[in-house]
Amino acid sequence: MTATESEQTSILNPSLWDGKIYTTGWTAGSAEPIEVKEPATGSVLATVGMASAADAFAAATRAAKAQKEWAATKPEDRAAILRRAGDFFVTHAAELGEWVQRETGAIGAKAALETHVAANECFDAAGLPHHPAGDVLTSNADHWSFARRTPAGVVAVISPFNFPLILSIRSVAPALALGNTVILKPDPRTPVSGGVMIMRAFEEAGLPAGVLQLLNGGAETGAALTEAPEVRIISFTGSTAAGRKVGEAAGRNLKRAHLELGGNNALIVLPGADLAKAASAGAFGSFLHQGQICMTAGRHLVHESLTNGYVSALREKAEHLPVGDPMSGQVALGPIIDDRQRDNIHRIVEEAKAAGATVEAGGTYDNLFYSPTVLTGLDKENPAWAEEIFGPVAPVMGFSTLEEAAEIVNSSEYGLSVSILGDVGEAMKLADMVHSGKVHINEQTVMDESNAPFGGVGASGTGSRFGGYTANIEAFTETQWLTVRPDIAPYPF
């Protein structure tokens, strides 16, 4: 088969979108196109168009015009489009998964998770158009009274590089299902997995033109969406620093912002826990996708009776997990997304050492491949304990009592995910004491299911939630109080 023939049989078919963004069809953006690089090899995978701030304002106006008709589309027709988009991710999982692997530097299992969850997000969202749209209220007045859910209007989705497909589709699918139009702005390092794939899925599913637009772009394009008057909701997933700026702009412009931000998640090993299983959970929690996950276990708190054994088991794993090009199929860890992220990881490890930490394993890199790293000898102020590293680094500290563990967990400004390994009764006591959007007992910190309400507290976010009917309806609709009388009411004036 020639290259052109294989391109044409490809569902992503780059000749459709090469150098383009999507407004009412694939078209050139006003900013300079950029190359998408494969972090493992440095090869150029594709070129995508880039949207300017002016493109973002124009997209918002277009989205507002398209929204009324989309909201008036029959629920069964909206549901069918969502189901077909879900089928797209199932049918083309192999081709899409390979893009995810190469573009994000992911091992096969992580890529398969992204396409699997993307399908489920669409299938779950397909239930939303027929979900009850509010409540019938009782009233002391002589009228019928309803609280009904109406679409919010235009939703902007801004997503990061690490799990670009899931972190985009988890907002795009329910927002569309509930009658909103959507503008998606993925991270410019992963615009295919975070954008093109989703756009192609809905294009193939028959979504009317203009209902979903894809604006590849950087911070300026995202910032323009926070200013555009027609955008009513911003669903942002990314760093706490950028989230603060988005939240400020949203506040100034009186928009709703759902902010899903960073984390510094604790994995706690209770006395009596099975050491081998705990170290396996800890290694997975810290090293999956090179630690570039908001839920990565960034602090391992191990009961003092088990600390030595836990550190040796974790060290053993870190020293033997293979690191390399995920396309070789033989690795557990792939590359870091780019040198800026890698340099930040290494800066924190070096600063941790300077502040007294011991490097039990790793602490080195080759190009973008960072070795799984285990650190001990830390105090709460050590940068490797206090900061979100976003790399494959497992800092370990001991504790003696549940109260002390809770105090250490809660001393972080973040509050996204906590894992507690060991006796369930003790774990439940600790779960009651920690401030966290998610707590997982006898599982590690990285957990996401399309029907579970996902989100953090404190510096991890504004407490908004994605996932499941209740959270998604809350996130992507407005509530209208509607009262009705058979005749005009009498008044004393």
- Which residues are catalytically annotated? 260, 294
Q: At CA 395, angle to CA 387 and CA 332, rounded to 5?
A: 105
Choices 56-64, 157-165, 348-356, 402-410 (CB under 6 A): range interacting with ligand NAD: 157-165
Phi/psi for 212 (5° steps) reads -125, 130
Q: Which of 153, 179, 238, 453 binds ligand NAD (CB under 6 A)?
A: 238
Residue 264 burial (CB count, 10 A): 25
Judge whether 447 and 296 are in contact, CB under 8 Å. no
Closest of 437, 433, 430, 434 to residue 416, by C-alpha:
437
| One character per residue 443-462, x = contact with ligand NAD (rule: CB under 6 A) | -------------x---xx-
Give the three-class secondary structure for 245.
Answer: helix
Q: Site size for ligand NAD, by CB under 6 A?
A: 30
Q: Which is nearer to ligand NAD, 371 or 445 (CB)?
A: 445
Please give the residue whose beta carbon sits closest to ligand NAD in the complex.
222
Interaction between residue 167 and ligand NAD (CB under 6 A): yes
Interaction between residue 14 and ligand NAD (CB under 6 A): no
Q: Which of 162, 371, 376, 477 binds ligand NAD (CB under 6 A)?
A: 162
Interaction between residue 158 and ligand NAD (CB under 6 A): yes
Choices 47-55, 260-268, 302-310, 428-436 (CB under 6 A): range interacting with ligand NAD: 260-268
At 174, list the tokens. 């329910």
Judge whether 481 and 199 are in contact, CB under 8 Å. no
b/e map of 238-262 (b: 16 or more CB within 10 Å)? bebebbeebbebbeeeebbbbbbbb
Interaction between residue 294 and ligand NAD (CB under 6 A): yes
Q: Which of 80, 90, 205, 219 binds ligand NAD (CB under 6 A)?
A: 219
Interaction between residue 390 and ligand NAD (CB under 6 A): yes
Angle between helices 75-91 and 197-205 (to 10 degrees): 130
Counting every residue written for the chain, the total comes to 493
Interaction between residue 291 and ligand NAD (CB under 6 A): no
Q: Which residues, other chains included, contact 359 with Cβ-Cβ below 8 Å and sequence gap of 6+?
A: 349, 353, 373, 374, 375
The least CB distance from residue 46 to ligand NAD, in Å, is 17
Q: Which of 187, 230, 360, 387 binds ligand NAD (CB under 6 A)?
A: 187
Q: Which is nearer to ligand NAD, 39 or 262 (CB)?
A: 262
Interaction between residue 285 and ligand NAD (CB under 6 A): no
Interaction between residue 160 and ligand NAD (CB under 6 A): yes
Interaction between residue 145 and ligand NAD (CB under 6 A): no
Judge whether 113 and 73 are in contact, CB under 8 Å. no
Q: Which residues, other chains included, contact 421 with Cβ-Cβ below 8 Å and sequence gap of 6+?
A: 267, 268, 269, 270, 273, 277, 278, 281, 427, 441, 442
Binding site for ligand NAD (CB under 6 A): 158-162, 167, 185, 187, 218-219, 222-223, 226, 237-239, 242, 245-246, 260-263, 294, 388, 390, 416, 456, 460-461
